[in-house]
Amino acid sequence: MTYPIEQIRADFPILSEKIRNKPLVYLDNAASCQKPQAVIDSIVKLYSHDYANVHRGVHTLSVRSTDLFEAAREKVKTFINAQSEKEIIFVRGATDAINLVAQTYGKANIHAGDEIIITAMEHHSNIVPWQMLCEEKGAILKIAPMNFDGELLMQEFEALLNPKTKLVSVVQMSNALGTINPVEKIIELAHAKNIPVLLDGAQAIPHTIVDVQALDCDFYVFSGHKLYAPTGVGVLYGKKALLEAMPPYQGGGDMIRTVTFEKSTYAGLPHKFEAGTPSIAEVIGLGSAIDYLNTIGMDKIAAHEAQLLTYATQEALKIDGLKIIGEAKEKGAILSFTLGKIHPHDIGTMLDSLGIAIRAGHHCAMPVMDFYKVPATARASFAMYNTKAEIDVLISGIKSLIEMFG
């Protein structure tokens, strides 16, 4: 069956917007993806017909909301193939999920002199929470290095593993470079020394099939908004035994079993980690996004995006002076580049005037920019709804702006 690109494009209303009188070419998907009508409709339907607070009332609307909310949890469970819906914790996003692990698992298990390993290509969200924890505990953050193609140096990674290592926290796909890390191997090596592994899947999950049981990762985190769902919702997956042993994160309503002024007891999983009223509509929207993706098939989306990346890379390399930042053999649909002395912000503004949305900046990965000795890069990132014709618009735009800069 051919990939139903026309139908998919019609499913995303924003794609028919005009930007500065030009058809929108949206290539900033690594920052956030656009939303299909099905997701938008699910939120409108909830607020129009089914909305009330969850897990509380005995009234009809509360029951409806709770059912929809918990159905979304079930959908996430199936989507990433977790063993139990108790392992799916709803949080605000990948950043929130990593902070949760740092503040609970980290505080309970990481002590002075212990080591945490991350990689040289992490997003700030997988650096700063660990730095804060290390500072508090007197623990040490170790950085597994990469080569100039943006590939993790596996021997150096392996050499960092030692009895003091208490956690490995690694990005599955780099948002700044597109590198897909050999996470199966990383997990195998870490587990051989009984070290748990957290995977930051924020960037990977819209592009690939994720099976947390096959991966055998201990924690997996992602954000909804990069998976065609609303902002304000993300997921922490954790193996049940680990989550059960962890102290709670925030205290409040919904996460308790009993409260007296002397002592409170906590709810079981997953509610132990979900204090307060959650992002109800956003969680339900995430469930709808997963339904939508399932109708297309993640394997077909991955194949479509791989073709786009190959084509974009091949055309970009024909442009004199264009340098691709991140040339790993295993790469997701991200094309990060520089154009000599033309600053990425100028590239971004100029492409915007042609209706093309890209990201220009450090991509919340300042250490990656330092590594390549560039202040910033321009980044085009592709999603399920992008086309070769849009890449042609991008490439011709880049050529024109080089001419204009002279």
Partner 1 sequence: MFEDLRELYQEVIFDHNRNPRNFRVMENYDRMVEGFNPLCGDRLTLFLKMDGDLITDASFQGSGCAISTASVSLMTEIVKDKTEAQADALFKTFHEMTTGKEEHINLEAVGKLAVLAGVREYPARVKCATLAWHTLDAALKNEQQSISTE
Burial environment of residue 200 by CB neighbours within 10 A (0 to 12, 13 to 18, 19 or more): buried
- 392 contributes a contact to partner 1 by CB under 8 A: no
1 binds partner 1 (CB under 8 A): no
Which residues does 318 contact at the CB level (< 8 Å), separation at least 6?
none
Q: Does 340 bind partner 1 (CB under 8 A)?
A: no
Instruction: Return d(Cα 379, Cα 171) in angstroms, integer.
Output: 18
Beta-strand relationship, 234-238 and 219-223:
antiparallel
Look up residue 222 and give its two tokens: 């992602």
> Could you say which of 4, 369, 372, 387 contacts partner 1 (CB under 8 A)?
369
Q: Are 339 and 347 in contact (CB under 8 A)?
A: yes
User: What Cα–Cα distance (Å) separates residue 118 from each residue in 157, 213, 329?
Assistant: 9, 22, 21
C-beta closer to partner 1: residue 20 or 185: 20
Interstrand relation of 22-23 and 18-19 (parallel, antiparallel or unpaired): antiparallel
Residue 350 interacts with partner 1 (CB under 8 A)?
A: yes
Is residue 17 near partner 1 by the rule CB under 8 A? no
The only residue of 354, 365, 368, 393 in contact with partner 1, by rule CB under 8 A:
354
DSSP letters, 322-391, are EEES---SSB-SEEEEEETTB-HHHHHHHHHTTTEE-EEE-TT-HHHHHHHT-S-EEEEE--TT--HHHH
23 vs 375, beta carbon nearer partner 1? 375
User: Distance between CA 147 and CA 28 in Å, rounded?
Assistant: 26
In 24-59, which residue ranges form alpha helices assigned H by DSSP? Answer: 37-45
Q: Could you say which DSSP state residue 137 is in?
A: H
209, two tokens = 């099939």
Shortest Cβ distance from residue 374 to partner 1 (Å)?
A: 9
**DSSP single-letter state for residue 226:** G
Task: Please report whether residue 344 would count as binding partner 1 according to CB under 8 A.
Answer: yes
CB of 350 to partner 1, least distance (A): 6
Active site residue 364: yes
| Sites for partner 1 among residues 93-122 (CB under 8 A) | none
Q: Output 232 or 361, the one with its CB closest to partner 1.
A: 361
Q: How many residues bind partner 1 (CB under 8 A)?
A: 23
Contact between 404 and partner 1 by CB under 8 A: the answer reads yes
Q: Does 353 bind partner 1 (CB under 8 A)?
A: yes
Q: Please report whether residue 343 would count as binding partner 1 according to CB under 8 A.
A: yes
Report cis status (omega within 30 of 0) of the bond before 270. yes
Contact status: 394 vs partner 1 (CB under 8 A): no
* Cα separation, 98 vs 361, whole angstroms: 23
> Pick the catalytic residue: 33, 134, 217, 364?
364
287 sits near partner 1 (criterion: CB under 8 A): no
What is the nearest approach in angstroms of partner 1 to the Cβ of residue 376? 5
| Sole binder of partner 1 in the list 20, 185, 257, 388 (CB under 8 A) | 20
- Closer by beta carbon to partner 1, 88 or else 356: 356
Cβ at position 24, least distance to partner 1 in Å: 15
Q: Looking at the annotation, which residues are catalytic? A: 364
Q: Which residues bind partner 1 (CB under 8 A)?
A: 20, 342-346, 349-350, 353-354, 360-362, 366, 369, 375-376, 397, 400-401, 404-406
